[in-house]
Amino acid sequence: MKIIILLFLFMFSPLILASELPEGWYLTSADQYLQEDVRWFKGILPNKVVVDLNDDGMQDSAWILTDKTKTKWALFVALSSDKNNKTLIKLADDEIGLHLNVGIRFMKAGRYRTACGKGYWKCKHGEPAEIEIKNGAISLNFFESSSSVYYWSENASKFIRVWLSD
């Protein structure tokens, strides 16, 4: 019985994922990345994170998606709810250059120094030198360049973006 269930999940998981994605967007594939960028992520495509991001006990999803024209990428998050619905949020997007140069990773809960806290620039009014991530977060990484983190703020009821490097 377990084998049948696993086989079903393996065969139909792309269909289940496709139904979650916003219309006109698809999950990025290996051929959109330079192989050296994929190696930077230790061979795991940096295009999907599934974890509880807002501490409600339900699995949420984050994806780097490409539009059907292959000219734009976007970071989308699907927050789960207790009614088996998902709230879809676009956190970032940009044009694709010669190749896709952006990926995501899960960041564990903890305290992190921000870019201004590391001295990349002077912290502006309201810009923290350090953040505390309570539930885990999504690290958005531009290969050979900058990185930022999106974490859920319970007080603001939204994702907050903070730069970690320039």
pLDDT tens digits along 102-146: 889 999 999 999 999 999 999 999 999 999 998 889 999 988 889
The per-residue pLDDT for 133 is: 92
Of the chain, the percentage scoring pLDDT greater than 70 comes to 83
- Where are the strands (E) in the chain, listed by range? 25-27, 48-51, 60-67, 72-80, 86-95, 102-107, 110-113, 130-133, 137-142, 147-153, 158-165
Question: In sequence order, what are the beta bridge partners of 80?
Answer: 86
Stated pTM of the model = 0.82
Integer-rounded Cα radius of gyration of the chain: 17
Name the residue range of residue 125's domain.
2-165
- Which letter does DSSP use for residue 122 in this model? P
At 91, phi and psi to the nearest 5? -95, -30
- Count how many domains the chain has: 1
Sign for the CA dihedral angle at 86, 58, 61, 94 comes to positive
Contact 79, 60 (CB under 8 A): yes
What mean pLDDT, rounded, does the chain reach? 83
